[in-house]
Amino acid sequence: MTGPWKLVGVLMLALVSVSIMSAAPAATPQSQANALGAAATAPGDLKAVTFTKDVQPIFQRACVQCHRPGSAAPMPLLTYEEARPWARSIKDRIVKRQMPPWHLDRSIGEYLDDPSLSDDEIATIARWVDAGSPRGNPADAPPPVNLATLGEWVYGEPDLIVEMKKGFQLPAEGPDMYPSELVDPGITEDRYVKWVQIIPTAYCCVHHSHVYVTIPDDAEREGLGLSMGSNLEREVDLIEYAMGNDADIYPDGVAKKIPKGALFRFAPHYHPWGKDIHDRERVGIKFYPKGVVPKLVVTSHRLRTGVGNDWVLNRTRVEDLLLRKGYPLDLDEPRLPVGNLLDENTGNNAALLSIPPNTVARHERFYPMPQPGMIISFQPHMHFRGKRMLLEAIHRDGRREVLTDVPNYEQSWQITYTYKEPHLFPAGTILHVVSWHDNTANNPHNPDPSAWVGYGPRTMDEMGHGWTDIAWLTEEQYQQALAQRAKKRLTTTTSSGQR
Ligand code: HEC
DSSP 139-166: GGSPPPP-GGGGSSSTTS--SEEEE-SS
Residues 75 and 99: their CA atoms lie apart, in Å, by 13
Q: 87 alpha carbon to ligand 1 midpoint, in Å?
A: 12
Q: Which of the four pLDDT bands, split at 50, 70 and 90, describes residue 403?
A: very high
Q: Which of the four pLDDT bands, split at 50, 70 and 90, describes residue 497?
A: very low
Considering the segment(s) 155-294 as one domain, its CATH architecture is: Sandwich (2.60)
- The domain segmentation of the chain, as residue ranges, is 6-150, 155-294, 351-499
Q: Following DSSP, what letter does each residue of 258-297 receive, concatenated?
A: E-TT-EEEEEEEE---S--EEE--EEEEEEPPTT---SEE
Q: What mean pLDDT comes out for the span 210-226?
A: 66
Classify residue 440 by burial, with Cβ atoms within 10 Å: 0-12, 13-18, 19+. Answer: middle
Ligand 1 neighbourhood includes 93 CB (under 6 angstroms): yes
- More confident position, 285 or 410: 285
- More confident position, 352 or 482: 482
Distances (CA, A) of 456 to 272, 441, 495: 18, 21, 53
Q: What is the pLDDT of residue 457?
A: 73
> Is residue 38 scored above 60 in pLDDT?
no
Q: Which of the four pLDDT bands, split at 50, 70 and 90, describes residue 346?
A: very low
Ligand 1 neighbourhood includes 94 CB (under 6 angstroms): yes
- More confident position, 173 or 343: 173
> Is residue 30 scored above 60 in pLDDT?
no
Task: Tell me which amino acid residue 320 is.
Answer: D
Q: What mean pLDDT comes out for the span 35-55?
A: 64
Give the tens place of pLDDT for each residue, 414-456: 888 999 999 999 999 999 999 999 999 999 999 999 998 888 7
Nearest CA to 100 out of 191, 20, 4 is that of 4
Q: Could you give the angle at the alpha carbon of 114 between the alpha carbons of 288 and 196, nearest 5°? A: 25
Least confident of 38-52, 150-164, 351-365: 38-52
Q: What is the pLDDT of residue 78?
A: 95
Q: What is the pLDDT of residue 218?
A: 66
Ligand 1 neighbourhood includes 100 CB (under 6 angstroms): yes
Q: Of ligand 1's atoms, which has the minimum distance to the CA of residue 83?
A: 35
Task: Tell me which amino acid residue 44 is.
Answer: G
Question: Sign of the CA dihedral 442, 443, 445, 446?
Answer: negative
Q: What is the pLDDT of residue 26?
A: 35
Asked if residue 285 lies in contact with residue 199, where contact means CB atoms within 8 angstroms, the answer is: no
Ligand 1 neighbourhood includes 431 CB (under 6 angstroms): no
Edge-to-edge strand order for the sheet containing 360-368? 360-368, 430-438, 386-394, 400-406
Is residue 303 classed as helix, strand or coil in its secondary structure? strand
Q: What is the pLDDT of residue 244?
A: 65
- More confident position, 247 or 482: 482
Give the tens place of pLDDT for each residue, 309-326: 445 455 666 677 777 877
Residues 96 and 255: their CA atoms lie apart, in Å, by 37
Considering the segment(s) 351-499 as one domain, its CATH architecture is: Sandwich (2.60)
Q: What is the pLDDT of residue 23?
A: 33
Asked if residue 54 lies in contact with residue 89, where contact means CB atoms within 8 angstroms, the answer is: no
Q: Which of the four pLDDT bands, split at 50, 70 and 90, describes residue 196?
A: very high
Q: What is the pLDDT of residue 182?
A: 93
- How do strand 430-438 and strand 168-170 relate by DSSP bridges? unpaired
Q: What mean pLDDT comes out for the span 48-67?
A: 94
> Is residue 2 scored above 80 in pLDDT?
no
Please enumerate in sequence order all residues whose Cβ is within 8 A of that of 320, keeping only pairs 6 or more positions apart, or say none.
none
Q: What is the pLDDT of residue 37?
A: 39
**Ligand 1, pocket-test mutation among 51, 93, 114, 412, most atoms within 8 A of CB:** 93
Give the tens place of pLDDT for each residue, 284-317: 999 999 989 998 888 888 888 876 544 545 566 6
| Domain 155-294 and domain 351-499 have a common topology | yes
Q: Which of the four pLDDT bands, split at 50, 70 and 90, describes residue 330?
A: low
Q: What mean pLDDT comes out for the span 159-180?
A: 92
Q: What is the pLDDT of residue 18?
A: 30
Q: What is the pLDDT of residue 28?
A: 35
> Is residue 66 scored above 80 in pLDDT?
yes
**Ligand 1, pocket-test mutation among 60, 66, 416, most atoms within 8 A of CB:** 66
- Give the distance between the most distant pair of CA atoms in the chain: 80
Asked if residue 160 lies in contact with residue 213, where contact means CB atoms within 8 angstroms, the answer is: no
Classify residue 489 by burial, with Cβ atoms within 10 Å: 0-12, 13-18, 19+. Answer: exposed
> Is residue 342 scored above 60 in pLDDT?
no
Please enumerate in sequence order all residues whose Cβ is within 8 A of that of 148, keeping only pairs 6 or more positions apart, or say none.
none
Please enumerate in sequence order all residues whose Cβ is within 8 A of that of 88, keeping only pairs 6 or more positions apart, or say none.
129
Ligand 1 neighbourhood includes 57 CB (under 6 angstroms): no
Nearest CA to 379 out of 433, 430, 298, 327 is that of 433
Half-sphere exposure of 262 (CA within 13 A, CB side): 27
Distance of CA 240 to the CA centre of its chain: 9
Least confident of 32-41, 85-94, 361-370: 32-41
Q: 6 alpha carbon to ligand 1 midpoint, in Å?
A: 17
Q: What is the pLDDT of residue 367?
A: 83
Instruction: Tell me the pTM.
Output: 0.77
Ligand 1 neighbourhood includes 90 CB (under 6 angstroms): yes
Q: 73 alpha carbon to ligand 1 midpoint, in Å?
A: 6
Q: What mean pLDDT comes out for the span 124-142?
A: 96
